[in-house]
Chains A and B, each alone.
Chain A
Amino acid sequence: MSEKKIKFKQVKIKREDGTVVLVNKRRANLSLENVVFTTLNTSFLIILAAVMVYPMLNVLAVSFNEAVDTTRGGIYLWPRAWTLRNYEIVLNMPTILTAFYVSVARLIVTVITNLIPTTMLAYVLSRRHYLFNKPITIVFVVTMYFNAGMIPNYIFMQQLGLLNTFTVYWLPGMISAFNLIVIRTYIRSLSESLIESAKIDGASEFRIFAQIVTPLCMPVLATITLFVAVGSWNDWFTNFLYNPGAAHLTTLQFELQKLLSNTASAGGAAAAATQAAQAGFGQQVTPMSIRSTITVVTALPILVVYPFLQRYFVNGLMLGGVKE
């Protein structure tokens, strides 16, 4: 490899300086082969992106299209018979509003109760001289690979009185081993000098964690916040398992699950969907239109904040993730 490098440099020297090389490169790019490649590549990527995004746009279009008209088929990217009726119905369902509030509250509480203890523990575990470093790490990492199972967990939550409570949404899953490792790895990559000098100044470990390390961790914390928030927003199983009957604790994803399950659904959104198909509304509503609309309502918050957060997660994923 190094030989080639030298060879290349020699060439470069012969041709005066960098600008010349740049011209050469550009000329190379204009070769027929390259043009064909770039065209094919670009079109392929555009098609791929279209395939990626189409299902989402289609759901959006269906949600704005009249329900009966949708059953005739042929709705792709744009509604044929515009209506806000689907949204009117969905947003008037008491369950959907409750589910929205619960989902938001759950997200906020989960993020706070997740991040603080996880970061604190990650800081402790990043101290290489800490005596219990290894045993604690092992206890946490092992949990990534097993689980007591649904029924043992259920019985346990029951004994703790956590069934049909809001607490069950955040308390049992406060610390994720994966996030812990990611933050720990990040803290270890930070400079020790600040921490050491703070120690010499007599700062307590907690102060170092809260005032020195945490501000330095903001990039990775932004990423973890995103992961935790998305995970909390998208989870339906906790609701399904522990809070299935608590109407005041229902979440958007659980309402969607009811619409999707291959069953005689009822209660909440699903029932309204079929019942709305009755007299008063006529055929203004179908399961398809209701599902699409609730999907949009559910996915929207994430897709709205997505552009603002996307610059963090790429970095964050690299920071703590697999290292080459």
Chain B
Amino acid sequence: MKTKEKKPKRVKFNEEHLHRPKPQMTWRNIWLQRELIIMSVPLLLYMIFFRYVPITGWAMAFQNYKPAIRNVWDQEWVGFANFQNLLNMNTLYGQTFLRSVRNTFGQSILSMVLGFVCAIGLSLLLNEVRSVGFKRIIQNLSYMPHFLSWIIATGMIATALSLPQSGGFINIVLHDWLGILKEPIAFLNHPKYFWGIVAGGQLWKSLGWNTIIYLAAMTAIDPQLYEAAEIDGANRWRKMWHITLPSIKATIVILLIMSTGYMLESGFEIQYFLGAGVNKEVAENIDIFILRYGIQLRAQFHLGTVAGIMKTIVAIFFVASANWLAKILGSERLV
């Protein structure tokens, strides 16, 4: 209740506040802020302890790591040899790693493009719905997959893609009912579909959820713009194209930029659980490479760690670029 009263004041006050000079770093000021320090520094130390200290483990990227030698610092140091091994395209490891990089980008770009186009499209259509009740029902149903775990979602995706006798409803609809397919397709037996399956699965899970931000942005559009267009004789399509879409352009751009920061996260469960066998070569992304070749197969920890470090470096580069781009475009940054 209180929040409602305060809301109108918000912006004004913040602006005043912003102009107050920041206090100098002096012992006196530190003493004055002792309470804030007590409240934050332990948590800072906690974070450093749990998130930064383990990075010392990266040492093994420069070692010929043997688990039998218990102390990390007693291992044999090999400099950048592990990095060279992983980037050597004449070895199976090199080729597999390169393949995993390609798969990561392929899967995430496809998934990103599909995700954006569909979320924007769905938001536009939902925005055209006049009945509030109907709109709310559709929205709530479409959010639901977002709350399922990836384990559950992957199980459902596997079922959906299977043959009709195993309950594969995609085949049931396309073959049994509509007759679009001449023969049912065992989708998971064909590597050419796999990236599409990854993108489609992620789309199913996140589509509804991703519309939230666009719909919110659309509520901010001045209704008079539509009324004016109506009088000019614009139909629904034209209004969507010429008013709604341009009005949410800023939101789209920011989200697009921010999502490039996550280019190296192309998902895990679908690829891990459904990507064995035939699909292996198109499924394995960097995360799975690390798990499979760095850990599961003969405990090659140094290789897994090297791949992890390279992924981190590239990811930080992407995030930094995205952040920089967002700054140029004048939107709020994270730091």
Q: Do chains A and B touch in the complex (CB under 8 A)?
A: yes
Q: List residues of chain A with CB under 8 Å of any chain B CB.
A: 1, 4-5, 7-8, 11, 21, 25, 28-29, 33-34, 37-38, 41-42, 44-46, 48-49, 51-56, 58-59, 62, 70-73, 75-76, 117, 120-121, 123-125, 127-132, 134, 136-141, 143-153, 155-156, 171-172, 174-175, 181, 188-194, 204-206, 209, 215-216, 219, 230, 233-236, 253, 256-257, 259-262, 288, 291, 295, 298-299, 302-303, 306-307, 310, 314, 317-318, 321-324
Q: Which residues of A contact B231 (CB under 8 A)?
A: 7-8, 11
CB contact under 8 A between A322 and B255, given known A25-B230, A49-B142, A140-B47:
yes
Considering the chains assembled together, what is the distance between the CA atoms of A53 and B29 in angstroms? 57
Contact with A along B17-49 (1 / 0, CB 8 A): 110101101000110010111011101101110
Contact with A along B122-154 (1 / 0, CB 8 A): 100110111000100110111111011111101
B168-220, CB < 8 A from A: 169, 172, 204, 207-208, 212-213, 216-217, 220
Residue B86 lies at the interface, judged by CB distance under 8 Å to chain A: no
Contact A322 B254 (CB under 8 A): yes
10 residue pairs from A and B, CB less than 8 Å apart: A42-B134, A45-B138, A146-B315, A150-B294, A174-B50, A189-B10, A193-B13, A234-B148, A298-B149, A307-B140
**Which of the listed residues B72, B125, B137, B237 has the most CB atoms from chain A within 10 Å of its own CB?**
B125
Residue B51 lies at the interface, judged by CB distance under 8 Å to chain A: yes
CB contact under 8 A between A58 and B159, given known A41-B129, A262-B273, A262-B276:
yes
B235-267, CB < 8 A from A: 235-237, 250-251, 254-255, 258, 261
Considering the chains assembled together, what is the distance between the CA atoms of A192 and B274 in angstroms? 52
**Which of the listed residues B10, B48, B147, B332 has the most CB atoms from chain A within 10 Å of its own CB?**
B147
Contact A130 B36 (CB under 8 A): yes
Contact B9 A260 (CB under 8 A): no
Interface-facing stretch out of B74-82, B97-105, B221-229: B221-229
**Which of the listed residues B144, B213, B255, B291 has the most CB atoms from chain A within 10 Å of its own CB?**
B144
CB contact under 8 A between A322 and B160, given known A148-B54, A291-B155:
no
B256-290, CB < 8 A from A: 258, 261, 273-274, 276-277, 290
Contact A253 B254 (CB under 8 A): no
Q: Which residues of A contact B335 (CB under 8 A)?
A: 134, 137-138, 141
Q: Which residues of A contact B22 (CB under 8 A)?
A: 128-129
Contact A37 B145 (CB under 8 A): no
Considering the chains assembled together, what is the distance between the CA atoms of A302 and B194 in angstroms? 29
**Which of the listed residues B23, B230, B335 has the most CB atoms from chain A within 10 Å of its own CB?**
B335
Interface size on B, residues (CB 8 A): 118
Q: Which residues of A contact B3 (CB under 8 A)?
A: 190, 216, 219
Contact B10 A156 (CB under 8 A): no
Contact B261 A150 (CB under 8 A): no
CB distance from A115 to the nearest CB of B (A): 13
Considering the chains assembled together, what is the distance between the CA atoms of A4 and B225 in angstroms? 8
Q: Which residues of A contact B147 (CB under 8 A)?
A: 230, 234, 302-303, 306
Considering the chains assembled together, what is the distance between the CA atoms of A189 and B8 in angstroms? 11
Q: Which residues of A contact B36 (CB under 8 A)?
A: 124, 127, 130, 205
Q: Which residues of B contact A71 (CB under 8 A)?
A: 165
Residue B166 lies at the interface, judged by CB distance under 8 Å to chain A: yes
B50-77, CB < 8 A from A: 50-58, 60, 72
Considering the chains assembled together, what is the distance between the CA atoms of A75 and B297 in angstroms? 40
Contact A143 B47 (CB under 8 A): yes
CB distance from B71 to the nearest CB of A (A): 11
CB distance from B151 to the nearest CB of A (A): 5
Considering the chains assembled together, what is the distance between the CA atoms of A223 and B181 in angstroms? 44
